[in-house]
């Protein structure tokens, strides 16, 4: 296949989005390109002083059915699909009275945005484009000779290339064809997903009301290659879903991100954002190793680092409010992989600049819980709604003793942190921050032992959180022995009565949340 530079003699333009189009069309017309167009696009171009030939005049067939049928014609698709190096193709096209079309500029009916805006079913269906994707696919298939444009962002680069090269190069046509097929795949996927969420109810179309559609197309764009995967022998890349969360992070300095960096970054940011402001979270291997509140960000980070300074080495520090110079100075002599915050002041950036490998990430206005949560498993994909903060939960005291206000503040903080710790999880807190964290054990008793062992100070008077119910009284007894005076847990065990009785016997206040927060992976 000879992908040489091709001059443009004839263009077909039929777009839904018309921004920046007039400038591009005037450029083409100025180079002697004949422009074919349809409906509203032709009207706009004429108003802008661009010479246009209606597609209906080119085909000899009028637009019919309120514009539903206008470009589905042999002269249109023959002009796009004819191979220029195949004489029989050109003879067939000539016999139809058609001519080669070298450039196809099409963007599709706004189906996705119409559906996202809550359109009624008839309006959504009417915004399913037929002629547009057909032309895009025809032009993409014949990229040997034809250029297809589906994105307004490509207008300016194409004009520059045509000025420089006298036409459109083979690599550009190949790139744009790939981009066009990506667009039609995404478009068709959105339509299929929408239709799979409908049902026929007494002869009428209605939404079936299910959270998960029968068909789930997923589309991601590569944002960057990563240094390596989970281990150095594994290659990896980061693909983004739109511009949300990690897809829109701004790296201010430091080495490029690795696979594990991104996992840890997500964990740190999610915990920090769920805490009251100002707060700081320290993460190592996706697990919190410290989290704290403070009157200032510097106070919060000092306290968060106290919980487990050894584990914080090589970790991720996340702030949920701007990082200032005083906070940065606290971190100046600690080896860290990443510092992430909504913003950094000039003094903080100056301090961090002394550590050239430290990754400094700005996550301004980014939702830490976008979309669904997916987990890849062999042969399939698990999908679930996010375990969002703020979902309805109870706070029911089940023991004779009610927690004091200070204990309740510590319980609330422990409960937030516990949600972000690998199961089985036990977290010890006071009202300012974490004291000890027990993560990822097969037995809740072992997690309790680790939380006590890892505590950076005397655990007398602390509050404890458990991500799931206590199946037996033993963990509560261990916590009481460690000096914990209040516990929060979901409740729901067949032995709840035994656990509550143990708490009463030990004078431990216990609160049921009614919600479980397992984190398996």
Reported as a single tens digit per residue, the pLDDT across 219-253 is: 888 888 888 888 888 899 988 876 666 666 889 99
Question: For 461-486, what is each residue's pLDDT tens digit?
Answer: 999 999 999 999 999 999 999 999 99
Residue 364 predicted with pLDDT over 80:
no
Report the alpha-carbon distance of residue 309 to residue 456 in Å, rounded: 9
Are residues 163 and 272 located together in one domain of the fold? no
For the stretch 144-170, pLDDT in tens is: 999 999 999 999 999 999 999 999 999
Query: Which segment of 266-280, 355-369, 491-505 scores lowest on mean pLDDT?
Result: 355-369
Residues 140 and 192 in one domain: yes
**Residue 228 phi, psi dihedral angles, 5° rounding:** -170, 180
Q: 457-462: which pairs have CB atoms within 8 A and are 24 or more residues apart?
A: 457/306, 458/483, 459/428, 459/435, 459/483, 459/484, 461/430, 461/485, 462/410, 462/428, 462/429, 462/430, 462/435, 462/436
For residue 23, the SS3 value is helix
pLDDT digits (tens, 9 = 90+) for 301-321: 999 999 999 999 999 999 999
pLDDT of residue 208: 77
Q: Are residues 462 and 336 in the same domain?
A: no
- pLDDT class of 101 with cuts at 50, 70, 90: very high
Residue 299's pLDDT is 96
Whole-number CA gyration radius for the chain: 31
Q: H or E stretch including 162?
A: helix 155-165
- Answer whether residue 176 is part of any domain: yes
Q: What is the DSSP letter of 321?
A: S
Is pLDDT of 63 > 80? no
DSSP state of 230: S
Give the span between the Cα atoms of 419 and 387, in whole angstroms.
9
Q: Based on the fold, state whether residues 174 and 65 are members of the same structural domain.
A: yes
Q: Is residue 368 part of a domain?
A: no
Q: What is the model's pLDDT at position 368?
A: 65
* Two tokens, residue 104: 């196809």
In the predicted structure, residue 67 carries a pLDDT above the cut 80? no
Q: Are residues 32 and 142 in the same domain?
A: yes
- In the predicted structure, residue 187 carries a pLDDT above the cut 80: yes
Note whether residue 311 is domain-resident: yes
* Same domain, residue pair 130 and 22: yes
Same domain, 255 and 170: no
Round to whole Å and give the CA distance between 437 and 453. Answer: 9
**For residue 261, what is the domain's CATH number?**
3.40.140.20
User: What's the confidence (pLDDT) of residue 453?
Assistant: 94
The answer on 450 and 507 residing in a single domain is yes
DSSP result, 343-385:
-B-HHHHHHHTTSTT-EEEE-TT--SS-S-EEEEETTEEEEE-
Cβ partners under 8 Å of residue 227, min gap 6 = 236, 255, 256, 257, 258, 259
In a domain, 213, yes or no: no
Q: Is residue 371 part of a domain?
A: no
Domain contains 443: yes
pLDDT at 25: 94
Q: Pick left, alpha or beta for residue 141 (phi over 0 → left; psi -120 to 50 → alpha; otherwise beta).
A: alpha
Domain closes at, from 164, 180, 196: 196
Give the count of domains, the chain: 3
Nearest CA-CA partner of 25 in 152, 127, 139, 145: 152
Where do we find the tokens 């090269």? 165
Q: Are residues 353 and 306 in the same domain?
A: yes
The angle that helices 21-30 and 155-165 make with each other, rounded to 10 degrees, is 20
User: Between 58 and 501, where is the model more confident?
Assistant: 501
238 lies in some domain: no
Is 227 part of a structural domain of the chain?
no
> For 18-55, what is each residue's pLDDT tens digit?
999 999 999 999 999 999 998 889 999 999 999 999 88
pLDDT at position 271 is 94
State what percent of residues in the chain have pLDDT above 70: 97
Query: Does residue 494 register a pLDDT over 90?
Result: yes
| Residues 189, 258 within the same domain | no
Closest CA to 43 of 79, 18, 68: 18
Work out the percent of the chain whose per-residue pLDDT is above 90: 65
Q: What is the pLDDT of residue 97?
A: 84
pLDDT of residue 244: 63
Residue 70 has pLDDT above 80, yes or no: no
The answer to whether the bond into 140 is cis (omega within 30° of 0) is: no
Domain identity same for 137 and 28: yes
Dist CA 424 CA 444 (whole Å): 6
Containing H/E element for 99? none
Beta bridge partners of 103: 11, 147
Query: Regarding predicted confidence, which is higher, 241 or 424?
Result: 424
The pLDDT score that the predictor gives to residue 367 is: 65
0.75 surpassed by pTM: yes
pLDDT of residue 372: 80
Q: Domain boundary at 196, 218, 238, which?
A: 196
Which sequence positions are flagged as catalytic? 141, 285
Tell me 66's DSSP state: T
Q: What average pLDDT is seen over the chain?
A: 90
* Residues 25 and 143 placed together within one structural domain of the fold: yes
Q: For residue 505, what are the domain limits?
A: 396-512
Give pLDDT, residue 499: 96
Q: Which of 174, 196, 218 is the last residue of a domain?
A: 196
* Cα distances (angstroms) measured from residue 60 to each of 54, 75, 79, 100, 497: 10, 9, 14, 16, 84
Q: Read off the pLDDT of each residue in 382-402 and give the average, rounded to a whole number.
A: 88
């Amino acid at each position: 296949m000879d992908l040489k530079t091709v001059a443009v003699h004839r263009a077909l333009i039929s777009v839904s989005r018309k921004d920046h189009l007039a400038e591009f069309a005037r450029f083409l017309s100025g180079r002697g390109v004949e422009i074919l167009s349809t409906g509203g696009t032709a009207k706009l171009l004429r108003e802008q002083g661009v010479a246009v030939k209606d597609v209906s005049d080119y085909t000899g067939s009028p637009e019919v059915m309120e514009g539903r049928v206008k470009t589905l014609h042999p002269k249109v698709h023959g002009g796009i699909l004819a191979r220029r190096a195949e004489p029989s193709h050109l003879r067939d096209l000539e016999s139809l009275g058609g001519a080669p079309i070298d450039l196809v500029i099409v963007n599709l009916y706004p189906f996705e945005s119409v559906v996202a805006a809550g359109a009624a079913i008839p309006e959504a269906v009417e915004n399913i484009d037929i002629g547009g994707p057909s032309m895009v696919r025809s032009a993409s298939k014949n990229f040997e000779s034809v250029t297809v444009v589906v994105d307004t962002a490509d207008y300016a680069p194409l004009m520059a290339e045509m000025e420089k090269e006298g036409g459109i190069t083979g690599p550009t046509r190949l790139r744009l064809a790939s981009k066009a097929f990506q667009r039609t795949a995404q478009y068709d996927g959105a339509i299929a997903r929408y239709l799979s969420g409908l049902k026929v109810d007494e002869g009428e179309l209605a939404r079936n009301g299910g959270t998960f559609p029968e068909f789930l197309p997923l589309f991601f764009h590569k944002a960057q290659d990563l240094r390596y995967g989970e281990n150095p022998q594994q290659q990896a890349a980061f693909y983004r879903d739109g511009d949300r969360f990690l897809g829109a992070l701004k790296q201010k300095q430091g080495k490029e991100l690795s696979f594990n960096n991104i996992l840890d970054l997500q964990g740190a940011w999610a915990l920090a954002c769920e805490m009251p402001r100002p707060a700081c979270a320290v993460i190592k291997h996706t697990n919190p190793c410290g989290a704290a509140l403070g009157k200032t960000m510097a106070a919060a980070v000092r306290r968060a680092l106290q919980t487990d300074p050894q584990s914080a080495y090589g970790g991720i520090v996340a702030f949920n409010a701007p990082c200032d110079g005083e906070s940065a100075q606290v971190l100046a002599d600690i080896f860290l992989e990443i510092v992430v915050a909504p913003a950094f002041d000039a003094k903080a950036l100056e301090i961090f600049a002394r550590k050239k490998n430290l990754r400094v990430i700005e996550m301004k206005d980014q939702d830490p819980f976008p979309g669904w949560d997916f987990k890849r498993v062999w042969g399939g994909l698990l999908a679930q709604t996010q375990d969002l903060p703020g979902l309805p939960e109870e706070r029911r005291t089940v023991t004779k003793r009610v927690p004091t206000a200070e204990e309740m503040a510590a319980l609330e903080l422990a409960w937030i942190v516990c949600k972000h710790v690998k199961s089985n999880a036990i977290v010890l807190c006071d009202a300012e921050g974490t004291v000890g964290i027990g993560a990822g054990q097969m037995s809740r008793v072992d997690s309790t032992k680790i939380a006590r062992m890892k505590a950076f100070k005397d655990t007398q008077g602390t509050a404890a959180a458990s991500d799931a119910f206590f199946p037996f009284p033993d963990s509560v007894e261990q916590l009481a022995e460690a000096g914990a005076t209040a516990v929060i847990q979901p409740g729901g065990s067949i032995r709840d009565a035994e656990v509550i009785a143990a708490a009463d016997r030990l004078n431990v206040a216990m609160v049921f949340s009614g919600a479980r927060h397992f984190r398996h992976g």
